[in-house]
Amino acid sequence: MLPEGPVARNQLSVFYVTLWVSIFIFLTVGGVLAYAQIRFRVKKGQEDDDVPPPQTHGHPMVEIGLIGVSILLLVIIAVPTIRGIWFQYDTPEPEDALVVTVTGYQWWFKFEYPELGIVTANELVIPTDRPIHLDLRTLDVIHSFWVPKLAGKVDLIPNRANHMWLQADQEGYYWGQCAEFCGESHANMKFRLVSLNEGDFEAWVERQTGEARNVSDDATAMTWSDLDPKIESASLEESDFSKPEVSSFEGWKRQQFPMGEETPELIEQGRKTFVDQKCVMCHTIRGHGAAGIIGPDLTHFGSRTTVAAGMLDNTTDHLADWLSQPEEVKPGNIMYRDGYVINKTELSEDDVQALVAYLHSLK
């Protein structure tokens, strides 16, 4: 697991300094101890009730020497550690940094880009080679933000404004995980981080700032290739949601665009189901009249590669599983507890199919 950004690299270098110093101390102390035990053990023929060896009461030069070596070893650890703390605390070039507010919920992450007016869930998309300043908040319990390849964990603490920064060297698709026990689905609170080159990031911003795609009004808007011709390829044409992708990152790129066959009538039916089943009470879909703020913003849900806080790939089957039995997928989740149970929601197979088609059309 190699670091892929300056913060993770700095943390790894501090770890190695500490590790090498610890190994040195272990070998030195252990070596002296082993030597003394072997050299001065009771030998054959010797009585073990012999008179004790001559006793000494300290050796000033040895003691001063040991104190000096201990201080030196601590300084060797302290200097890079303190420099690392400063380096990791202050976002470099704050004017150039992209600010993202991360909010933890039981059990998912909300990512807001205040300067860009974008809100996403469980997928943090960033440009490469640019510092990302993260403001870490939580609306319920303590969570912890962790993308192992890019930066160590920082907690999201109620009533406390924590922050951190990170940066990605190159394009990629990274795993993230809540790293602080936060309730029964803590282990299921995952997310992804996607880093894009500048051009792709700008194209992503352009798509995300728009309202949700509307298939019934504009059935011709089946491909967005005119928006970003780079991503058009033969494989894009034939890909569908249930097909295994070549790589997570390629899969993410494909997911940004409408794929395969779409049935406008089914999508329209799903849009009605979304209202009838009161999904609109908790979710926002900009441009479709849904403005709930309890659950994740779904305006561009179809462009995300995962569902249920990063637990499942966002395929037709998985989304259907999540909608028909949320409690099985992510135990304790609020959609089930405060939605399905209270509203006595019962989705027929048709409802689920229509909802899946509708949600996947939201690019």
User: Which residues here bind ligand CUA, judged by CB under 6 A?
Assistant: 104, 107, 143, 178, 180-182, 186, 189
Contacts of 122 (CB under 8 A, 6+ apart): 108, 109, 190, 191, 192, 296, 304, 306, 309, 310
Residue whose CB is less far from ligand CUA, 104 or 296: 104
Q: CA of 295: how far to CAs of 67, 267, 300, in Å? A: 58, 21, 14
Residue whose CB is less far from ligand CUA, 16 or 181: 181
Find the shortest distance in angstroms from Cβ 199 to ligand CUA: 34
DSSP 226-295: TT-GGG--HHHHH--TTSPPS-HHHHHHHHTS--S---HHHHHHHHHHHHHTTGGGT-EETTTTEE--SS
Closest CA to 343 of 302, 294, 297, 284: 294
339 is written with which tokens? 């939605």
Find the shortest distance in angstroms from Cβ 19 to ligand CUA: 28
Residue whose CB is less far from ligand CUA, 132 or 189: 189
Residue whose CB is less far from ligand CUA, 300 or 330: 330
Residue whose CB is less far from ligand CUA, 192 or 286: 192
The one-letter code for the residue type at 313 is: D
Find the shortest distance in angstroms from Cβ 326 to ligand CUA: 17
Find the shortest distance in angstroms from Cβ 337 to ligand CUA: 16
Find the shortest distance in angstroms from Cβ 183 to ligand CUA: 7
